[in-house]
Structure 1
Amino acid sequence: MVLLVRMTEKLTTAALCQLELIAEHEVDAAVDAYMADPLAPTFVFREGYRLNLAKAVRRHPGADDVVSRGKVGPALVRPFVRAAILQARPDRG
């Protein structure tokens, strides 16, 4: 299957995973980085894609809501952070 994408269009992390430009273990590492430090610096994926994890979580309505509650355990927060990262659009370079 051939996927044609405009060069100016930024793909989601999930789409980059499907294209094998970002590996699942890298997404796991990004989630781990956010869970360890919500203010962590920009996360850099293997192929040079960069993602501000805090911004990705803030822009995701569900993740932002769960994280903002404060008294929610990591088992509930983690899937929302993962969803936010997968739906975010990393920059290249």
Structure 2
Amino acid sequence: MVDAILVRPARAFVYCMTNDPTFGELYKAKAILEADLEAAIDAFIADPTTVSFTIGEAYTVDPHAAVAASPFATATMAQANSSEYVKRSFVRMAILLSKPVRVGA
């Protein structure tokens, strides 16, 4: 089921957000803020065992499961010589690809 369709004829771009969006889709739709996403990344970097983090007022993410589901993020976090920037980038990617849990749902 599709919640919203945004059509931009000038670019022939169609964006659909389903009833079960990823954090990436919510981010594109401006339903979550950059500051909230950065806070989730900071929480995981500080404590990789973090299993629940509230993003905004409506969603929670399990950063540990998101990173564990991404082979690239898992490998990057395991490498001692990976820079902070690279680690943050892969954690960000893993979170954006994960599915949120609605608070109170």
TM, length-normalised to structure 1: 0.83
Distance in 1 separating the partners of 2:18 and 2:93: 24
Counterpart in the other structure of 2:88: 78
The count of aligned residue pairs is 90
- For structure 2, the 5+ residue unaligned runs are 6-15
Aligned-residue sequence identity (percent) comes to 30
Q: Which 4+ residue blocks in structure 1 deviate beyond 6 angstroms?
A: none
Counterpart in the other structure of 2:46: 36
Write 1 or 2 for the structure with the bigger share of strand: 2
Please state whether the residue corresponding to 1:54 is helix, strand or coil.
helix
TM, length-normalised to structure 2: 0.75
CA RMSD, 1 decimal: 1.7
Counterpart in the other structure of 2:59: 49
Structure number, greater radius of gyration: 2
Distance in 2 separating the partners of 1:86 and 1:41: 16
- For structure 1, the 5+ residue unaligned runs are none
Write 1 or 2 for the structure with the bigger share of helix: 1
